[in-house]
Structure 1
Amino acid sequence: MTTGAGIKVVIVDDSAVVRQVLGRRLAESPGIEVLGSASDPIFAMALMNKTWPDVVILDIEMPRMDGITFLKKIMATRPTPVVICSTLSQRGARATMDAFAAGAAGVVPKPTTGLKQFMTDDSGDIVAAVRAAAAGKVARLNRTAAPAAPAVARPAPVAVAAASAGTDRIIAIGTSTGGTQALETVLTALPRNSPGIVIVQHMPEKFTAAFAERMDMLSTIEVREAADGDAVQAGLALVAPGGRHMQLLTDGARFRVKVSDGPPVNRHRPSVDVLFRSVARVAGRRALGVIMTGMGDDGARGLLEMRTAGALTVAQDEATCVVHGMPKEAVRLGAVDREVPLTAIAEVIRTHG
């Protein structure tokens, strides 16, 4: 199916169209070798036992064995980066969150109609997902799924003070590959009176709502997908919707978010740079910027603008990143005040002020 050595990939999907189009596109990409494809996990395991791949692209709903069960089997026996290929539906999005909890490295969305055209038009994202998964540290991805927790009873969020008062605090977080697990570590460690938080996690449309819902169930603070005009409040984390940018604005005595369309920035929408630059403009020294695990350089320049504006800036250290690309670039630019391990980020947030 391919020639030459490179990142060895196996595709597992019950759709012949997906296997054909995805396989052809990956085979044409320099440095990627498609070992083969299978219509279900049983066939896939037989193929993989002959030559083990570097990355597995995995559908969720398949005959004989579903993708989540197969993912857990892979992680229990021979941890390997897995990219989920899931439909752009509410059901598909929630199943993908279960996959992330089980250790999936990334997600490639696929629509329920127009599949062949979609795979052709968005093939760059597919290739990038495979490269990011191959670059990641599987040990950071191999996690036991956390059980869904009942919703935590919380007091109503307290409005943040006016920006001019000089006592308010705001936390801006940007992350990508490995970020769903990393954010779970941070958000679930925060107390209910934490400063208002705005987050960009690179994730496709519809998946961010399911991610926020899961984080809300597991966390003491409230977590939800942002809507245009939402107020930033203590005890609340707003996650930028997939496919849309999010910026911080001031509105009298409050910070609010603006959620809008626009071209991708650094190939991403939402973009961490878009959020961080807006935080630098309107919050300045009252903000804390955190850049976490992810491939590429989105957020590095925005974090530098935050630091220049007087904000404290923090990067997740290399040892605890799945992919160190985004924090590494921020450090290279001189945008980072402190590098800390993942488990220390919540404490930095708790003590910011």
Structure 2
Amino acid sequence: MNVPAIRVMIVDDSAVVRQVVKQALAADPSIQVIGAASDPLFALEHMKKQWPDVIVLDIEMPRMDGLTFLRKVMSEHPTPVVICSSLAERGSDAAMKALSAGAVSIITKPTMGLKQFLEDSSNDIVQAVKAAARANVRHLGGGLAAANQAAVSAAAVRPKLSADAVISASPGGGLGSGAGMVRTTERFVAIGTSTGGTQALEAVLTRLPAVAPPIVIVQHMPERFTAMFAERLNSLCAIEVREARHGDRVIPGRALIAPGGKHMMVARSGAQYTVEVVDGPLVNRHRPSVDVLFRSCAKFAGRNATGIIMTGMGDDGARGLKEMFDAGSPTIAEDESTCVVFGMPKEAIRLGGAAQVLPLGRIPEAIMQSARGG
């Protein structure tokens, strides 16, 4: 059975970028470049004749800037968009605006040595397009913040390490100290997400009251993005949201987001919980890794922590959620119906780590229920 090729439109005012990206994508038999336009207005004319499955888009362009074009596409004909821009390299403000508008992923390109960079990153570009083509963007045009994009840069294939590289499991494969811990009033929620997670987290956290239980979060996101993402959520939410710092208390009304480029774990001191922000190798090709966070929850919190895995590509967090489940934690996986990419939750469900499977809209209620020990 022949699988249709992924149709791609490239929109960039640089002839060099159009040429190199087109060559990189055309070299993959599963991708068909249907057009390359120097600005969004030319692209729209072309796309009226044949609509692409994925758009590779620059931000700085003549006649219409990329962000305006992105918002127009998402409101009229939601389509996965990969941002390829030097603005994302110089500062993350434009990149965060693009992600908020609905971009699926970001590739940062330098201002110098552009041609060589694009040639060296051709595999990253191909993988980003393939990942975008699998994204579920059917809700984007309706303005729903349920789930629509990710701040995940394309990554080169690296050795896939488990959480063992950062934190050892409890004796008995996760059934150790966590499972035997007595319930305390210090209960918290651990959330892991990736592709589609930025808007999914916004949809969840903005619906929580100021008295919400403590929350610790791993969102796959590069360095520099997490602080700005946390600041944006903090401006929208009743709870405090910020990038985690080593030693931060896990307290009610606060959500801590793991810094990009660092792992985050919870630790217990008496009846209190804190976070540890540490260096370490990539786990499941990610840093921060959801598996690292979830394993620490299983090991040091057990039934005192609720684990939630949401939209994301791959399987990071699936084994960790199973360890939390085995340690007595209430566990939740996001339902396929609201996931941008049903990868991480699907694998967690397959492993038997999810006690409940809930659509995104019911997760805030489940978080508040967890604070009552439900």
TM-score range for the pair, normalised by the shorter chain length: 0.7 to 0.9
Q: Secondary structure at the match of 1:132?
A: helix
Match of 1:174 in 2: 192
Q: Secondary structure at the match of 1:76?
A: helix
Instruction: Spell out the pairing of 1:83-94 with structure 2 (5 A cutoff).
Output: 83-87=82-86, 92-94=91-93
Instruction: Spell out the pairing of 1:57-76 with structure 2 (5 A cutoff).
Output: 57-76=56-75
Match of 2:238 in 1: 220
Tell me the amino acid that sits aligned with residue 102 of structure 1.
A
Change (3 A) 1:121 1:220: farther
1:76 to partner: Cα distance: 2.6
Q: Which runs of 5 or more residues in structure 2 are unaligned?
A: 146-180
Q: For structure 1, which segment, 42-51 or 75-84, has the greater mean C-alpha deviation from structure 2 after superposition?
A: 42-51
For 1:123 and 1:198, locate their aligned partners in 2 and report how far apart those are by CA, in whole Å: 35
Match of 2:210 in 1: 192
Q: Secondary structure at the match of 2:139?
A: helix
Q: Secondary structure at the match of 1:315?
A: strand
1:193 to partner: Cα distance: 1.5
Q: Secondary structure at the match of 1:223?
A: strand
For 1:340 and 1:145, locate their aligned partners in 2 and report how far apart those are by CA, in whole Å: 17
1:124 to partner: Cα distance: 4.5
For 2:136 and 2:341, locate their aligned partners in 1 and report how far apart those are by CA, in whole Å: 7
Please tell me the root mean square deviation across aligned C-alpha atoms, in Å.
Answer: 2.4
1:119 to partner: Cα distance: 4.0
Q: For structure 1, which segment, 91-100 or 261-270, has the greater mean C-alpha deviation from structure 2 after superposition?
A: 91-100
**Aligned 8 A contact 2:8 2:52 in 1:** yes
Identity %: 62
- In the alignment, does 2:81 pair up with 1:77? no
Match of 2:154 in 1: none
For 1:268 and 1:344, locate their aligned partners in 2 and report how far apart those are by CA, in whole Å: 28
**Aligned 8 A contact 1:312 1:337 in 2:** yes
Tell me the amino acid that sits aligned with residue 311 of structure 2.
T
For 2:227 and 2:36, locate their aligned partners in 1 and report how far apart those are by CA, in whole Å: 31
Change (3 A) 1:100 1:311: same
Match of 1:32 in 2: 31
1:266 to partner: Cα distance: 1.7
Change (3 A) 1:340 1:165: closer
Decide which of 219, 223, 239 is 1:201's aligned counterpart: 219
- In the alignment, does 2:285 pair up with 1:286? no
Decide which of 258, 266, 287 is 1:248's aligned counterpart: 266
Match of 2:44 in 1: 45
Match of 1:211 in 2: 229
Q: Secondary structure at the match of 2:366?
A: helix
Decide which of 320, 324, 329 is 1:306's aligned counterpart: 324
Match of 2:107 in 1: 108
Q: Secondary structure at the match of 1:257?
A: strand
Match of 2:293 in 1: 275
1:217 to partner: Cα distance: 0.7
- In the alignment, does 2:28 pair up with 1:10? no
1:17 to partner: Cα distance: 4.1
For 2:114 and 2:300, locate their aligned partners in 1 and report how far apart those are by CA, in whole Å: 42
Change (3 A) 1:20 1:281: farther
- In the alignment, does 2:340 pair up with 1:322? yes
For 1:107 and 1:48, locate their aligned partners in 2 and report how far apart those are by CA, in whole Å: 22
Tell me the amino acid that sits aligned with residue 295 of structure 2.
R
Tell me the amino acid that sits aligned with residue 342 of structure 1.
L
Change (3 A) 1:196 1:117: farther
Q: For structure 1, which segment, 259-268 or 69-78, has the greater mean C-alpha deviation from structure 2 after superposition?
A: 259-268
Change (3 A) 1:63 1:275: same
Q: Secondary structure at the match of 1:138?
A: coil
